[in-house]
Structure 1
Amino acid sequence: MLPSDPAVAELLTRGRIEVEGRLVDASNATLFCEISGAGAVAHCVYKPVSGERALWDFPDGTLAGREVGAYLVSEAAGLHLVPPTVFRAGPFGPGMVQLWVDTKEGDDLVDVLPPGEVPAGWRRVLRAHDRFGEPAVLAHSDHPAVRMMAALDVVINNADRKGGHVLHGTDGEVYGVDHGICLHAEDKLRTVLWGWVDEPLPEDVHDMLGTLRSAVDGSLGEDLAEHLTRVEIRALCTRVELLRGTARFPTPGADYRAIPWPAF
């Protein structure tokens, strides 16, 4: 089942969840599941609130709720960059349920490569050395959807956009996952997608920001209130307006780490 399938929302909301395994690299309980109902079957990720590790700097709400909030923002902006995501009851209590996205083998959009192997057109973010002391470059694709994801990360204040969170689906679309630590009121942007630093925003990003700002004043604001504080929703509006006002991709902040660790 593809994220664009009209039946996805109903399946995620009402389908029967059967846990098949756990993604052991995740810091919080992240379960790989089959979900079925009304003749439809798909795979999903289920993150129960009961499996969340408390974070001192994200004391309000739940990480699962922030995952849903990121999806709601992406949809309201017309981006469809976050796989369909709902908050519902599950085998281990309430949590986030998100459609699993199958990815293209060997078609990464973010990578760490030797300097001479960076694909033409890719954006170089950071020069460093690998664990063997050899020169290496953190770089990412110049794909328009990756650029739009970079803008989305600014407005949702994503504190953990790792390279492995940028997926190239087998349907040809680009998706971002793992948004548990985003939408905070304080500046916390940490991302590997810094390839457009200080460049003017293209027209499609301008249009997206206008659409999103209007949506926050309407039903989006009401939907987000189920998962975020009023201060966090106001901060979302402020970030949208600031990005529209500067009309440029931001530069990394000097008072906090701008790239997540690890980067993947």
Structure 2
Amino acid sequence: MPTDTSADDSSLRLLAVSELEIEGRLLDASNVALRVWVTDGETRMSAVYKPIRGERPLWDFPDGSLAGREWASWLISDLTGWGFVPPTVLRDGPLGTGTVQQWVGPLDGRHDPEFVRIDSPNDVPEGNIAVLSAQDEADRPLVVSHADTPRLRSLATFDAVLNNADRKASALLADDEEFWAIDHGLCLHHEEKLRTVFWGFAGDPIEDADLIVLQALSAQLQETEVVDQLGSVLDAAELDALSSRVHALLATGVMPEVPFDRHPLPWPLW
């Protein structure tokens, strides 16, 4: 199984080789996701185990491919240095092969960093970017907006690279003043599928620091070792599309525009 990367080697080693002690199932997950503990001597870490056999069939993603996409997304996060995705390995477990990802955020499972909000038009926080207008059950106007920070802009660039088809607000977990990004099973398809709550950045210039990251990633995607690692879970068309997306972002220097020929938002938004 592919596990070698430059992230925290001790965490990866613990996730990769320790016995998985299942604590219970995360009931709000659409696929089977199990809270587990990994232990090595006095070192004990909480993690999430998503076995391939627990993946629901989807019409637009190949069966049994979501775990590999989760792992590939982590690898790209690690290669770029963006570090959005918690340490993740692809390995055998009690229910067969799946991803094991370090648990991040509060242990009680709560995550409310308020990067995405729903407010009346007059209550949208200063600096937030409006994404969607709506009405409540009493026909009162509402606005969905998101925050504007350098790290969120980098996340939006990362999602454009991944072709993330499911960037919900709940897929960001607060950790002190920063956040982690999780749930990347619906990524890296060869067809355009970007669906995100962060369309407020659409058409904006990509930050200079992120362009430097993209330039480095473009070179890394030509390296034999990286191609072999990604090729263990992605097919040739998906690898070509990944490189093409990076090249397109570098060529235009701007974030993707909102598509009008398909639904651009995840559902639900949270």
Band the TM-score falls in, shorter-chain normalisation: over 0.9
In the TM superposition, what is the alpha-carbon distance from 1:6 to its structure 2 partner? Answer: 4.7
1:209 corresponds, among 193, 214, 217, to 214
Q: Are 1:180 and 2:185 counterparts?
A: yes
Q: How many equivalent residue pairs?
A: 260
In the TM superposition, what are the counterparts of 1:162-173 in structure 2 within 5 Å? 162-170=168-176, 172-173=177-178
Q: Distance in 2 between matches of 1:174 and 1:66?
A: 21
Q: Are 1:147 and 2:150 counterparts?
A: no
Q: Deviations over 1:218-250 (max 9, x none)?
A: 132221011100110010000000011111111
Q: Are 1:224 and 2:227 counterparts?
A: no
CA RMSD, Structure 1 to Structure 2 (Å): 1.7
Q: Which residue of 2 aligns with 1:101?
A: 104
Q: Distance in 2 between matches of 1:26 and 1:190?
A: 18
SS in 2 for 1:86: strand
| TM-score using structure 1 length | 0.93
SS in 2 for 1:7: helix
1:198 corresponds, among 203, 208, 224, to 203
In the TM superposition, what is the alpha-carbon distance from 1:88 to its structure 2 partner? Answer: 0.6
Identity within the alignment, %: 41
Q: Distance in 2 between matches of 1:97 and 1:149?
A: 22
2:75 corresponds, among 47, 72, 77, to 72
Conservation of the 8 A alpha-carbon contact between 2:15 and 2:89: yes
Q: Which residue of 1 aligns with 2:266?
A: 260
In the TM superposition, what are the counterparts of 1:45-124 in structure 2 within 5 Å? 45-59=48-62, 62-103=65-106, 106-124=112-130
Gaps of 5+ in 1: none
Gaps of 5+ in 2: 1-6
Q: Distance in 1 between matches of 2:245 and 2:199?
A: 17
| TM-score using structure 2 length | 0.91
Q: Distance in 1 between matches of 2:150 and 2:56?
A: 34
Conservation of the 8 A alpha-carbon contact between 1:191 and 1:258: yes
Conservation of the 8 A alpha-carbon contact between 1:109 and 1:167: no
In the TM superposition, what is the alpha-carbon distance from 1:166 to its structure 2 partner? Answer: 1.7
In the TM superposition, what is the alpha-carbon distance from 1:189 to its structure 2 partner? Answer: 0.4
In the TM superposition, what is the alpha-carbon distance from 1:58 to its structure 2 partner? Answer: 0.8
Q: Deviations over 1:5-44 (max 9, x none)?
A: 5521111111221111211121110111122114211111
In the TM superposition, what is the alpha-carbon distance from 1:167 to its structure 2 partner? Answer: 2.0
Q: Distance in 1 between matches of 2:111 and 2:230?
A: 35
Q: Deviations over 1:105-146 (max 9, x none)?
A: 643222222323322212211111234433222111212111
Conservation of the 8 A alpha-carbon contact between 1:109 and 1:168: no
Give the letter aligned to residue 209 of structure 1: L
Q: Distance in 2 between matches of 1:65 and 1:42?
A: 22
Q: Give the direction of change, closer, same or farther, for the CA distance of 1:260–1:106 in structure 2 (3 Å limit).
A: closer
SS in 1 for 2:200: coil
Give the letter aligned to residue 123 of structure 2: E
Q: Distance in 2 between matches of 1:201 and 1:152?
A: 11
Q: Distance in 1 between matches of 2:111 and 2:80?
A: 29
Q: Give the direction of change, closer, same or farther, for the CA distance of 1:180–1:132 in structure 2 (3 Å limit).
A: farther
1:39 corresponds, among 15, 37, 42, to 42
